[in-house]
Amino acid sequence: MKAESKYFPVRLMCRVLELRSSGYYAWLKRPRTTDRIRSDQEVLTAILKIDREVKQVYGVPRMTSEPRDRGFVINHKRVERIMRENGIQGVPKRKFKVTTNSKHRLPVAENLLNQEFDVAQPNQVWASDISVPQQSCMRDEGKAPRNRLTGAGCKPPQAAWVKSPGRERCGKGTPRYQV
Q: Look at residue 43 in the predicted model and tell me its pLDDT.
A: 93
Q: How far is CA 14 from CA 11, 43, 61, in A?
A: 5, 34, 35
The reply to whether 102 falls in a domain is no
Does 67 lie in the same domain as 52? yes
Does 40 lie in the same domain as 12? no
The reply to whether 117 falls in a domain is no
- pLDDT of residue 57 exceeding 60: yes
- pLDDT of residue 55 exceeding 70: yes
* Confidence band, pLDDT 50/70/90 cuts, at residue 93: confident
Q: Can you count the helices (H) and strands (E) in the chain? A: 5, 4
Does 62 lie in the same domain as 25? no
Quick one: what percent of the chain has pLDDT higher than 90? 29
| pLDDT top residue among 177 and 20 | 20
The reply to whether 98 falls in a domain is no
State the DSSP code for 115. T
Q: Look at residue 162 in the predicted model and tell me its pLDDT.
A: 43
Residue that finishes a domain, picked among 55, 77, 92: 92
Q: How much of the chain is helix, strand and coil, in % rounded to 5?
A: 35, 5, 60
Q: Which burial class, exposed, middle or buried, applies to 67 when counting CB atoms under 10 A from its CB (0-12, 13-18, 19+)?
A: buried
Does 26 lie in the same domain as 8? yes
Q: CA 104 to CA 93: how far, in whole Å?
A: 30
Q: Look at residue 172 in the predicted model and tell me its pLDDT.
A: 47
pLDDT digits (tens, 9 = 90+) for 120-165: 888 888 777 776 665 554 444 444 444 444 444 444 444 444 444 4
- pLDDT of residue 15 exceeding 70: yes
Q: CA 18 to CA 115: how far, in whole Å?
A: 81
Q: Look at residue 154 in the predicted model and tell me its pLDDT.
A: 45
Does 26 lie in the same domain as 38? no
Give me the number of domains the chain comprises. Answer: 3
Q: Look at residue 105 in the predicted model and tell me its pLDDT.
A: 87
Does 9 lie in the same domain as 58? no
The reply to whether 80 falls in a domain is yes
Q: Look at residue 149 in the predicted model and tell me its pLDDT.
A: 46
Does 63 lie in the same domain as 12? no
Does 87 lie in the same domain as 48? yes
Are the CB atoms for 83 and 51 separated by under 8 Å? no
Does 50 lie in the same domain as 12? no
What is the domain extent for residue 172? 148-179
Residue 163 CB contacts under 8 Å (≥ 6 apart), including other chains: 175, 176, 177
- pLDDT of residue 173 exceeding 60: no
Reference 134, options 148, 144, 146; nearest CA is 148
* Confidence band, pLDDT 50/70/90 cuts, at residue 94: confident
Does 47 lie in the same domain as 77? yes
Which whole number is the average pLDDT over 28-45?
Answer: 86
